[in-house]
């Protein structure tokens, strides 16, 4: 998913690069190992794997979700992608969310099979979403159906002791 850029930021030249989400199980040396063979793109059952500007596979959760099926890892001969049941990507809700702006919408919560999204009552009858990063798998089930495209994804910092 790409970060939304406001008109003000655009005209002031404050553009920040959107992160490319790599497929679940992408190894640290992904860019060096990937041969750009398209095998992972061809086998993805939900069609969420595409290409970034450098030609490397990236995940776009705006039109579907990751099933963590492992098909991309199985198809990856150079082992740039290994089997994974989750990844360090988590969802966040940005300020364009209808609920933040006083419109009743709970689409993201309705589509989250992991029950990671909950709504909290605020003043003036508003109810706003919060995402529990411990329950969120980063699958993207919440993103595609969002009518305002307010779900973005970020890489969760690794927890090191």
Q: Which residue has tokens 């919560």? A: 109
Give per-residue pLDDT as tens, 105-142. Answer: 999 999 999 999 999 988 877 889 999 999 999 999 99
Domain extent at residue 140: 89-155
Closest CA to 79 of 27, 22, 24: 27
Q: Rounded to the nearest 5°, which phi and psi values hold at 51?
A: -125, 145
- Tell whether 84 is covered by a domain: no
Q: What is the CATH number of the domain that holds 145?
A: 3.30.70.20
Output the pTM of the full model: 0.79
49 and 99 inside one domain: no
């Amino acid at each position: 998913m790409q970060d939304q850029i406001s008109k003000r930021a655009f005209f002031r030249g404050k553009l920040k690069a959107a992160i490319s989400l790599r497929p679940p199980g992408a190894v640290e040396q992904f860019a060096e190992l990937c041969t750009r063979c398209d095998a992972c793109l061809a086998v993805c059952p939900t069609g969420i794997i595409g290409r970034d500007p450098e030609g490397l596979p990236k995940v776009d959760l705006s039109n579907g979700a990751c099933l963590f099926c492992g098909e991309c890892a199985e198809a990856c001969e150079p082992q740039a992608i290994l089997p994974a049941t989750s990844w360090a990507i988590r969802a966040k809700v940005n300020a364009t969310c209808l609920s933040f702006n006083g419109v009743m919408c709970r689409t993201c919560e309705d589509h989250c099979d992991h029950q990671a999204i909950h709504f909290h009552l605020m003043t003036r009858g508003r109810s706003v979403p919060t995402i529990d990063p411990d329950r969120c798998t980063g699958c993207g089930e919440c993103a595609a159906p969002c009518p305002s495209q307010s779900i973005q994804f970020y890489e969760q910092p690794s927890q090191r002791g």
